[in-house]
Structure 1
């Protein structure tokens, strides 16, 4: 999940550094996130996804998986950073937006089909205190994030976020969706 907040200097993004011993992307700056758990399919939410966001997720996921992806993003945010997305017992899914998707090359030993969801920082509650999965959890200005060690796909997703953030709010739900396929090739997401 890309949790962001506006500041006079521009947006800041919540990120953390994966442990140097991590099997996947060791030592790099990442957004909080992870896999969908079985329980995410039945988890309660304080509010549901807005129809345009749900439709964006459902372009490449069944409806039950689309909702579970959003629940998982919020759960992983809480587990990895200590911040809850809204008030609990469930997250504020209505405050989420969809950014893009990324799929690793088939030749890679660890593969993912990641959806990047966006959430405004003012919806988050709690204090930064992760589970130990990420180090250096902080709000990073975009230039500071880019100056750190980051996977190429993370930099590309930051580019997409920057473009999304610059759009008028009314245009965000109408924009063309994109996917990064294979070796980070940007292409339109098929309908």
Structure 2
């Protein structure tokens, strides 16, 4: 099946943070030189939502406040699919398991076979929704990306073992927050990084979530608080 390169795809990104109260660092990797989207750039693990993500069983759900903010100006069904996609992408690109012990049903989606074999179900509760960004028009790929912050203590596997990672990201490493800006990264990653720096030692959800909304008419910097509004489709 071919992908419509002009369509806006929902996406999820995970920022794993460790030693947040002392010398915080975050997990980053480098995209390949031949990647159609952001080649050679250092990024956080993440990617597009798959249709099957909406049907994957969860060991725990996203916190209610985060789910409400995900559903603001979006299809409410994404409050389930997006955190699942975040956990899947983290597993695929780093080999890290954000999971809780549990039993899968008999039929396991193809992308989840090795994750399920570890004896874990996706664990969405530790994910903290901290940023949303819509790729500007004119780019080779456009994503409506949601960024989640999660503490390394929620990871069920060895946080230094990337043996199960696919080859989409290279040079996976824990980057000290004080050094992250020296890496070659996309503009939006720098913007999100500033939010992470401000929240590194904050365990409670933010008062509101920044939304960098670039539609065909204008660029807006909004704040999301979880207000329910009728969804009118993607701009």
TM > 0.5: yes
> In the alignment, is residue 89 of structure 1 matched against residue 120 of structure 2?
yes
| Aligned match for 1:128, one of 162, 167, 170 | 162
More helix, by proportion: 1
- Alignment CA distance shift 1:95-1:21 (3 Å): same
Aligned counterpart, 1:151: 186
- Separation in 2 of the partners of 1:51 and 1:40? 19
- When residues 79 and 66 of structure 1 are mapped into structure 2, their CA distance, relative to the original with a 3 A threshold, is same
**Greater displacement, 13-22 / 107-116:** 107-116
Describe the superposition over 1:87-146 as per-residue Cα deviations: whole angstroms up to 9, x where unpaired. 343221111110010011122232111000111111113322310100011111113221
Pair member with larger Rg: 2
Partner SS state of residue 3, structure 1: strand
Instruction: Find 1:140's aligned residue among 175, 178, 202.
Output: 175
Structure 2 SS opposite 1:40: helix
Aligned to 1:103: 134
Unpaired segments ≥5 residues, structure 1: none
* Residue 179, structure 1, aligned to residue 211, structure 2: yes
TM-fit CA distance, 1:35? 0.7
Name the TM-score, length of structure 1 as normaliser. Answer: 0.89
Show CA shifts across 1:25-80 (max 9, x none).
01110000001111110101111111111111111333321110000000000000
Counterpart contact for 1:45–1:89, Cα < 8 Å:
no
Structure 2 segments unaligned to the other structure (5+ residues): 1-13, 101-118, 228-235
> How many pairs does the alignment contain?
188
